[in-house]
């Protein structure tokens, strides 16, 4: 899952990016409204953390312009604790949730997990596909009850496929959503990670749809979560 953090406080921006990367996300960053607006309009993010008080272009304006352009990614806005009007403006502009500063990083992570989950149509933090279970809160994967150790890239790939289970996901889409802006993107690496993931899971849940991409579906069962 690929996220964007738009926050002009460089220390806070760095803290957010570090925490999100450690939680298994690919993260891009911006330090002002103009840069954030450009990235949000030109790149396919799964969710955005957006500060309201930004230089060059404020967060509410950025959000309004994204929504006017048809951008539907979930947006979590950051507001000052005593500025209730920011929260109202944010929701009216199209925000999906908010966190007041100062905040606990765990709250930001939990709210983002919920936004990503709802956007993909899942009700709980645990996603299932046949014998495979992925706990987005703990970052843990088990198959038939046995834990499976994955690298960060393998986990990110499985998490994206499980969030979008039941539909074909193209290699291009995976490249766009699994790697940050600075990563040397190559769709061939996706095939390598899919191969590793299949071997580690040991169950046939990732199907290759020739010429289209990959489909995550349980062998003869229903996908849940």
pLDDT per residue as tens, the chain (225 positions): 899 999 999 999 999 999 999 988 999 999 999 999 999 999 999 999 999 999 999 999 999 999 999 999 999 999 886 677 888 888 999 999 999 999 999 999 999 999 998 888 877 888 999 899 999 888 899 999 899 999 888 998 999 999 998 899 998 899 888 887 766 666 578 888 899 999 999 988 999 999 899 999 887 644 444
Identify the pLDDT of residue 6.
Answer: 98
- Shared domain check, 153 and 93: no
- Shared domain check, 133 and 112: no
Instruction: Identify the domain boundary among 91, 119, 147.
Output: 119
Instruction: Identify the domain boundary among 119, 153, 180.
Output: 119
- Shared domain check, 104 and 135: no
Instruction: Identify the domain boundary among 119, 136, 166.
Output: 119
Ranges of H-type helices in 7-48: 10-22, 33-42
Domain that holds residue 217: 126-224
- Shared domain check, 205 and 114: no
- Shared domain check, 213 and 152: yes
- Coil, strand or helix at 85: helix
Angle at 99 between CA 177 and CA 21, to 5 degrees: 35
Kindly state the tokens that stand for 219.
């062998």
Kindly state the tokens that stand for 14.
């760095």
- Coil, strand or helix at 196: helix
């Amino acid at each position: 899952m690929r996220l964007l953090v738009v926050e002009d406080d460089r220390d806070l921006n760095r803290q957010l990016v570090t925490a999100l990367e450690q939680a298994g996300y690919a993260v891009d960053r911006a330090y002002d409204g103009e840069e954030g607006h450009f990235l949000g309009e030109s790149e396919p993010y799964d969710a955005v953390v957006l500060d309201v008080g930004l230089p060059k272009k404020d967060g509410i304006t950025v959000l309004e312009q994204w929504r006017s352009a048809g951008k539907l990614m979930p947006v979590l806005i950051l507001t000052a604790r005593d500025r209730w009007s920011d929260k109202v403006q944010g929701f009216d502009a199209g925000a999906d949730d908010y966190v007041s500063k100062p905040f606990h990083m765990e709250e930001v992570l939990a709210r983002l997990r919920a936004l990503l989950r709802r956007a993909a149509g899942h009700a709980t933090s645990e996603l299932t596909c046949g014998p495979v279970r992925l706990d987005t809160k703990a970052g843990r994967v088990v198959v038939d009850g046995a834990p499976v150790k994955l690298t960060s890239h393998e986990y990110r790939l499985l998490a994206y496929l499980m969030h979008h289970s039941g539909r074909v996901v193209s290699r291009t889409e995976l490249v766009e959503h699994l790697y940050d802006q600075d990563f040397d993107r190559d769709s061939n690496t996706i095939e390598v990670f899919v191969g590793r993931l299949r071997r580690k899971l040991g169950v046939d849940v990732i199907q290759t749809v020739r010429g289209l991409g990959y489909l995550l579906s349980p062998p003869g069962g229903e996908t849940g979560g």
